[in-house]
Structure 1
Amino acid sequence: MNTGAEPAERPTSALESYREVYGTAPDGSWAAPGRVNIIGEHTDYNNGYVLPIALPHVATCAVGVTDADVVRVASLQKPGEVVSVELARLADNDVAGWARYLLGVVHEYRQRGHPIGGLDLLLDGAVPVGAGLSSSAAIECSIAVAARDLFGLKVSDDDLISIAVAAENDYVGAPTGRLDQSASMLCTAGCALFLDVGTGERAQVPFDLAAAGLALLVIDTNTPHRLVAGEYAQRRKQCEQAAAALGVASLREIADVAALEPLDGVLLQRARHVVSENARVLEVVDLLRSDQDPRTIGPNLTASHASLRDDFAVSTIQLDTAVETALEAGAFGARMVGGGFGGSAIALVDTDRTHATVDAVLRRFAAADFIAPRTFVAIPSAGARRLT
């Protein structure tokens, strides 16, 4: 098991490889983290509340400014592959896959009138892909910060988040909310980010589990999710339909599940998850701020999973198995994280029970003939930043 404390930044690797790929030295390197959401799932695109932490696992990008009217992108995870797109063709090209996330950020800058010129980019991604830990947002935010710094742009953190979200929504075609990019940009070490997506208000909430003898165990089920698929977009549309049926702009405006009585069927289920999840986020934040034992947030985590499984229908048998096994092994709370349809779960455990919990999950997965999961302990880490 990876404890999560090992350095996840690999700037030397990206810097050394940059010269091999492009024949010159870069102008610098930047990193942005993945995230794990303590609670607040599928609430961001409903203008609700979220509570993520940044992971030590980052996407690192070495970047150089060039005189050519071309963006070239390469990745240490795709050796020998260099994608080249003329600046004039950023809005109209058929590039797909990993490279599109990088190109989308450059395109969005230019769409907004920022003078972004030729760039050579080399990506080194250490955030597990498809694990529901926001590897795409880490990529987008690392490039967004690099472009800001290299071209001396007067853009705020909120602008950077907006650029990264637009790249993912409009350029890549994944209809996500603002949670992932906000976490990657705004999180600080040792804290969780309490974000009100509807108003933009945010606060850092101390999240020192180690001091309480606790660990937040991440269980990557090795069942990759794909948010560009139709199920995620369908959930978002159903939430919009529920809000319209209730006569509100978003489900954020509904504070009590009793107000959902006009709905029925699937729309009732989807709305009930969002409304109850917002309430759980607020309760968890209150518990953490009140200096109570962090173990007290556990029931809210477990309730969140039940809601995501039953009302929002985004869990999988592997995620359910990970959660159930962790609880049976003594976890104080556990739930799936991310958009669902695969990815990861988290479990709040006593530090001295971490290995026993991992062993129990490994045995259960093996008995069910599932692919072995990957596990690590999440350490609240810093947001996007320049490395060199």
Structure 2
Amino acid sequence: MRVVEAFRESYGAEPVGVWHAPGRVNLIGEHTDYNDGFVLPFAVPWGVTAAVSPREDGVVRLRSLQTGAPVTLESPDEAEGWARYAAGVFWVLREAGHRAGGADVVIDGDVPQGAGLSSSAALEVVVGTALNELYGLGLSKMEVALAAQKAENDFVGMPCGIMDQAASALAQEGQALFMDCRSLGTRNIPFDLAQHGLQLLIINTGVHHELADGQYARRRQDCENAAKRLGVDALRDVTDLAGALAKLGGDERKRVQHVVTENHRVEAVIGLLRAGAVREVGALLNASHLSLRDQYEVSCVELDVAVESAVQGGARGARMTGGGFGGSAIALVADDRVESVRESVTGAYAERGWAAPEIYPATPAAGARRLT
């Protein structure tokens, strides 16, 4: 295993263990998690693998096979760049009073670059999972996910919801993970596409537009402002959409319309999956994309072209997935239309002089686990 060989090379010893945590793709339920709403992600086959050994001196040594030079941290506060995602987990656990000592860590990631498949959450979760086992912290998988989220919120400074980390920690192979982001209750929903002659294609645009993180924070603030104006704790509590929209204007009105209808779409998709009507999910993917494009305003031209050309090529439905402003779209496609969809999307990109997007199928994978 490459990560073990690199550990030996870096630290002159065998790692105590090797762990893996996957990235995720969200089937539906976008920008609902930080509104206490519903989400339906699943883990993807790519993620972050970490070879780890504990240290008694509290020092954290990190090496990423993707970024080169190793980092030695006497304190997590010294971390910069990518290392902050890993160091933040040490910081959160120590701040909570857990005996999370030092560690030697080598990580290797194979999440496609620029795809928006949450490699950062995978990194946080794999470190948290390893520390939980190495130091006998006794945390549940959800508690590991919450520690990882807190690291990203409070240490890295990205105000993400819980979805990415929870999907990485809790997902099961062949299942989508339904989560109520208020109660943190989860249920596995069977998602066997092959049984229905379907594939879920990820269309990785490879683009990431500037200001995306700032725009994300603005959307979250819009939602919080609207909730205050409506007198509810979070937008998931809005039950009279027409009445709520009548009280709002501008951006807040549009954000509320998206969040409330997106929560309903999550519940509708679950109903279809349980009924075995998987092909009918496509129409809800289309509706989700239009809402994200027009009401939440987090799409971009590359994502719109990917979605529109996939549907024109025969996809049952398609939408952008993730935070937006770049990254990936997903398309639900019958087996016999996969090549048609590929040709339609790559042709549309070629017509505009854009680099061809990467297109690959994603099957629901297992969540964070120890490999050796």
TM-score category (smaller protein): over 0.9
Structure 2 match to 1:290: 275
What CA distance in whole angstroms lies between the structure 2 residues aligned with 1:256 and 1:74? 51
Change (3 A) 1:199 1:281: same
Whether contact under 8 Å (1:209, 1:215) holds in the other structure is yes
Residue 369 of structure 1: SS of its match in structure 2? coil
What CA distance in whole angstroms lies between the structure 1 residues aligned with 2:52 and 2:211? 28
What CA distance in whole angstroms lies between the structure 1 residues aligned with 2:371 and 2:212? 31
What CA distance in whole angstroms lies between the structure 1 residues aligned with 2:41 and 2:355? 27
Q: 2:253 aligns with which of 259, 265, 268?
A: 268
Whether contact under 8 Å (1:61, 1:123) holds in the other structure is yes
1:207 aligns with 2:195: no
Structure 1 match to 2:45: 56
Q: 1:85 aligns with which of 73, 83, 86?
A: 73
Residue 265 of structure 2: SS of its match in structure 1? helix
Give the C-alpha shift of residue 200 in structure 1.
1.4
Q: 1:349 aligns with which of 309, 333, 339?
A: 333
Give the C-alpha shift of residue 291 in structure 1.
2.2
Whether contact under 8 Å (2:29, 2:262) holds in the other structure is yes
What CA distance in whole angstroms lies between the structure 1 residues aligned with 2:304 and 2:151? 32
Structure 2 match to 1:161: 145
Whether contact under 8 Å (1:238, 1:267) holds in the other structure is yes
* Counterpart code for 1:72: R
* Counterpart code for 1:212: H
What CA distance in whole angstroms lies between the structure 1 residues aligned with 2:272 and 2:48? 32
Give the C-alpha shift of residue 227 in structure 1.
8.2
Whether contact under 8 Å (2:142, 2:170) holds in the other structure is no
Residue 300 of structure 1: SS of its match in structure 2? helix
What CA distance in whole angstroms lies between the structure 2 residues aligned with 1:321 and 1:96? 36
Whether contact under 8 Å (1:74, 1:123) holds in the other structure is yes
Structure 2 match to 1:65: 54
What are structure 1's unaligned runs of at least 5 residues?
1-11
What CA distance in whole angstroms lies between the structure 2 residues aligned with 1:347 and 1:70? 45
Structure 1 match to 2:26: 37
Q: 1:27 aligns with which of 16, 20, 40?
A: 16
Structure 2 match to 1:5: none
Map Cα deviations across residues 300-346 of structure 1 (whole Å, 9 max, x no partner): 10000000000000001000000000000011110000000110000
Give the C-alpha shift of residue 371 in structure 1.
2.4
Whether contact under 8 Å (1:216, 1:346) holds in the other structure is yes
Whether contact under 8 Å (2:59, 2:103) holds in the other structure is yes
* Counterpart code for 2:273: L
* Counterpart code for 1:207: F
What are structure 2's unaligned runs of at least 5 residues?
none
Whether contact under 8 Å (2:145, 2:162) holds in the other structure is yes
1:46 aligns with 2:14: no
Q: TM-score, normalised by structure 1?
A: 0.93
Map Cα deviations across residues 49-81 of structure 1 (whole Å, 9 max, x no partner): 0001110112000001123331010011123x0
Residue 326 of structure 2: SS of its match in structure 1? coil
Map Cα deviations across residues 112-156 of structure 1 (whole Å, 9 max, x no partner): 111111211101011123321111111111111000010111111
What CA distance in whole angstroms lies between the structure 2 residues aligned with 1:169 and 1:228? 16
Structure 1 match to 2:4: 15
Give the C-alpha shift of residue 372 in structure 1.
1.9
Give the C-alpha shift of residue 233 in structure 1.
0.3
Whether contact under 8 Å (1:175, 1:228) holds in the other structure is no
Residue 35 of structure 1: SS of its match in structure 2? strand
Where do 1:315-334 residues align within 5 Å?
315-334=299-318
Whether contact under 8 Å (1:333, 1:347) holds in the other structure is yes
Where do 1:125-140 residues align within 5 Å?
125-140=109-124
1:96 aligns with 2:80: yes
1:190 aligns with 2:174: yes
1:340 aligns with 2:324: yes
Q: TM-score, normalised by structure 2?
A: 0.97
What CA distance in whole angstroms lies between the structure 2 residues aligned with 1:186 and 1:68? 31
Q: 1:243 aligns with which of 211, 218, 227?
A: 227
Whether contact under 8 Å (1:148, 1:154) holds in the other structure is yes
What CA distance in whole angstroms lies between the structure 1 residues aligned with 2:212 and 2:193? 34
Residue 343 of structure 1: SS of its match in structure 2? strand
* RMSD over aligned Cα atoms: 1.2
Change (3 A) 1:323 1:228: closer
Whether contact under 8 Å (2:178, 2:189) holds in the other structure is yes
Whether contact under 8 Å (1:53, 1:187) holds in the other structure is yes
Map Cα deviations across residues 167-207 of structure 1 (whole Å, 9 max, x no partner): 11111111110010010011101111111111112111100
Give the C-alpha shift of residue 386 in structure 1.
0.2
Give the C-alpha shift of residue 228 in structure 1.
7.1
Whether contact under 8 Å (2:92, 2:147) holds in the other structure is yes
Give the C-alpha shift of residue 255 in structure 1.
3.0
* Counterpart code for 2:281: I
